[in-house]
Amino acid sequence: MPVRIVLADDHPIFLIGLKAVVSKLDAFKIVGEATSPDELNAVLNSQECDVLVTDFMMPADEQNDGLRLIERVRRNHPDLPVIVVTMLNNPALFTSILNLGVKGLLSKASLSHELPAAIQAASLGRQYIAQSVKSAIEMVGGLGTNRLEPLEALSPREVEVMRLLASGLTVGEVATRLSRSKQTVSAQKVSAMRKLGLANDAAFYVYVQENGLGS
């Protein structure tokens, strides 16, 4: 019997890429696809499967937090092996995802040669962590207390600053709009990045894009 797989990704190109990789092997069979949290929930409730391969972030009005998405899947389907793929490269994020009990964690950059092995391992109850993920975690001292804080850990003012910066405004423009000093806005941005485990502006903008904060 082939391993029955559900694929979930809100980016059409990446979903096509996932399908292309999985479809190459007769040992795997795609039995469902989803492009949003609600679609994924509906598919998992109506279709039996052996492994879920999901993007970390699938922004929707009611579901912007990737960690919460995984928590919901794990809560509703505790016996389903989950493989998470992400564009982000953040050790704190990786630690938080793994602490949710997923069976696989991969970078989207390494899907072609690691996804089949991850699916096979997950279907057998084993965990598969991509080499790039392992290297990133090892660089900060391994799995420990360095965990990504949930979006709710930010203050309302920090979330407000993140949303405006994600929309393309500069720190000065955000300060003017919110009637705050540039120093205050900059400090709130730095505080939010520290709580979210984001090391630089590149990681910041990828994070806000995948969380839908700029929409």
Model pTM score: 0.68
| pLDDT tens digits, 87-96 | 877 777 788 8
Percent of the chain with pLDDT over 90: 40
| pLDDT tens digits, 63-103 | 456 888 898 899 999 999 999 998 877 777 788 888 889 99
Phi–psi pair at 32, nearest 5 degrees: -170, 150
Q: Is residue 124 part of a domain?
A: yes
Among 139, 160, 195, which residue terminates a domain? 139
| Cβ contacts of 143 within 8 Å, gap of 6 or more | 95, 98, 99, 137
Average pLDDT, the chain: 83
Residues spanned by the domain of 183: 151-211
| pLDDT tens digits, 107-141 | 887 777 889 999 999 999 999 998 888 887 777 55
Does residue 17 or residue 46 have the better pLDDT? 46
The whole-number average pLDDT for the span 26-44 is 94
Q: Is residue 134 part of a domain?
A: yes
Phi–psi pair at 83, nearest 5 degrees: -110, 125
Among 104, 139, 174, which residue terminates a domain? 139
Q: Is residue 145 part of a domain?
A: no
Q: Are residues 176 and 88 in the same domain?
A: no
Q: Are residues 165 and 131 in the same domain?
A: no
Q: Are residues 132 and 169 in the same domain?
A: no
Q: Are residues 39 and 59 in the same domain?
A: yes
Q: Are residues 130 and 179 in the same domain?
A: no
The count of structural domains within the chain is 2
Q: Are residues 134 and 40 in the same domain?
A: yes
* Alpha-carbon distances, residue 81 vs 5, 60, 101, 125 (angstroms): 10, 23, 9, 7
Say if residues 118 and 131 touch (Cβ distance below 8 Å). no
Q: Are residues 29 and 98 in the same domain?
A: yes
